[in-house]
């Protein structure tokens, strides 16, 4: 099942079920007005949403509309909690080597994670509005899971059963602001502006065999200004999503609607390219002695997409432009 949230003038949008080929949608308000409402009542909402999805695939024309990704908000436009991990250790290893940083003790055993801002996510075609190019504008391609209520102390294996939907995100980062915030030990704030999401939130079964071991076993294709930038594979997560959820839930409950991110998708193989500019710059520093690639400029565009074995986009593409914030 594929779900999306359409713009309707409200903060939380209109929940719709989307056809597998992403051409049609059906209003889901008879089941749940918003995705937050659906995830809070998943036991009763999910079978009814699945029924709408079946009707849509069978050609039921009642209450159907053409699906336009440009009218999509983030599937969950605002979340009570957004926690982002760093589950691909190859990314951290590159940064440490490039900047001569001391290894973080236990990082290969305990996931790194910070609590981000979930109050203002943006849609897949919305402009990324930012104050200044000097802040080091970067994109970061990641996978994300949306959970129902997770009990405190949940094990990693049990945590997998709480994953109800999978999403794909561009976790926008401002690299010039990050070093100071990292040194304070308080985590990111200004360096992490609003993140943007692919239009679809999908149930794990939509991925078929590509969803196993708590990982998305597909490459994430990234383009910058129309040119190939990378296609790192999601299957190389060192910590799977169950482990990330269990880490976040060690000392507290996670309420339905919590989003947990994988961190930048990264592979040790250089041929896979990268899902963020900072990683390419780190490779250049290691191999050439200095970074050669600059960060994003106003007017630049980024595209991200995940394609299944049948050639179908799984989450729908993110296609965005960076612009100067007005006012």
Using only the alpha carbons of the chain, give its radius of gyration: 19
- Looking at residue 61, its pLDDT comes to 65
* Residue environment code for 277-295, b if the CB has 16+ CB neighbours within 10 A, otherwise e: bbbbbbbebeeeeebeeeb
Domains of the chain: 2-71 (no CATH), 82-324 (3.90.850.10)
What CA–CA distance (Å, rounded) separates 119 from 79? 6
| Per-position DSSP letters for 98-109, written without gaps between them | HHTPPPPTTTTT
Q: What is the mean pLDDT of each run of 10 residues along the chain (327 residues)?
A: 98 98 96 98 98 91 87 97 96 85 84 94 98 97 98 98 98 93 85 96 97 98 98 98 98 98 96 96 94 98 96 97 93
pTM of the shown model: 0.96
Q: Which one, of 87, 237, 259, 30, lies nearest residue 165 by Cα? A: 259
H-assigned helices in the chain: 35-40, 42-57, 89-99, 156-159, 178-184, 241-248, 277-288
Query: What burial class does residue 182 get, using C-beta atoms within 10 Å of its C-beta: 0-12 exposed, 13-18 middle, 19+ buried?
Result: middle
Number of H helices, E strands in the chain: 7, 20
- Looking at residue 236, its pLDDT comes to 97
Q: Which one, of 121, 105, 124, 133, lies nearest residue 67 by Cα? A: 124
Return all residues near 140 (Cβ < 8 A) that are at least 6 apart.
170, 171, 172, 173, 263, 264, 275, 276
| Secondary element (H or E) of residue 115 | strand 113-116
* Residue environment code for 101-138, b if the CB has 16+ CB neighbours within 10 A, otherwise e: eeeeeeeeeebbbbebebeebbbbbbebbbeebebbbb
- Looking at residue 159, its pLDDT comes to 98
Tokens read off for 195? 């993140």
- Looking at residue 106, its pLDDT comes to 83
């Amino acid at each position: 099942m594929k779900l999306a949230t359409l713009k309707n003038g409200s903060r939380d949008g209109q929940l719709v079920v989307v056809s597998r080929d992403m051409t049609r949608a059906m209003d889901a308000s008879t089941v749940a007005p918003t995705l937050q409402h659906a995830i809070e009542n998943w036991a009763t909402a999910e079978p009814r949403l699945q029924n709408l999805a079946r009707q849509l695939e069978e050609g039921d024309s009642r209450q159907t509309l053409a699906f336009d990704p440009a009218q999509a908000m983030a599937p969950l436009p605002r979340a009570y909690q957004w926690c982002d991990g760093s589950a691909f250790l190859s990314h951290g290893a590159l940064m440490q080597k490039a900047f001569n940083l001391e290894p973080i003790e236990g990082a290969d055993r305990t996931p790194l994670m910070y609590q981000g801002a979930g109050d203002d996510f943006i849609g897949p075609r919305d402009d990324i509005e930012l104050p200044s190019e000097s802040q080091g504008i970067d994109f970061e391609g990641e996978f994300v899971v949306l959970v129902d209520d997770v009990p405190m102390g949940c094990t990693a294996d049990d945590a997998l059963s709480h994953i109800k939907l999978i999403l794909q995100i561009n976790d926008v980062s401002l690299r010039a602001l990050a070093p100071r915030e990292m040194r304070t030990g308080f985590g990111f704030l200004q360096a992490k502006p609003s993140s943007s999401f692919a239009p679809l939130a999908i149930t794990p079964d939509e991925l078929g065999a590509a969803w196993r071991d708590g990982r998305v076993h597909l490459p994430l294709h990234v383009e910058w200004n129309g040119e190939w930038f990378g296609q790192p594979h999601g299957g190389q997560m060192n910590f799977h999503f169950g482990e990330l959820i269990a880490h976040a839930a060690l000392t507290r409950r996670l309420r339905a609607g919590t989003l947990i991110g994988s961190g930048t998708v990264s592979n040790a193989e250089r041929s896979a390219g990268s899902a963020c500019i900072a990683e390419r710059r780190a490779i250049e520093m290691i191999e050439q002695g200095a970074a050669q690639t600059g960060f994003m400029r106003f007017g630049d565009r980024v595209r991200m997409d995940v394609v299944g074995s049948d050639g179908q986009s799984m989450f729908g593409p993110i296609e965005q432009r960076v612009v100067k914030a007005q006012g």
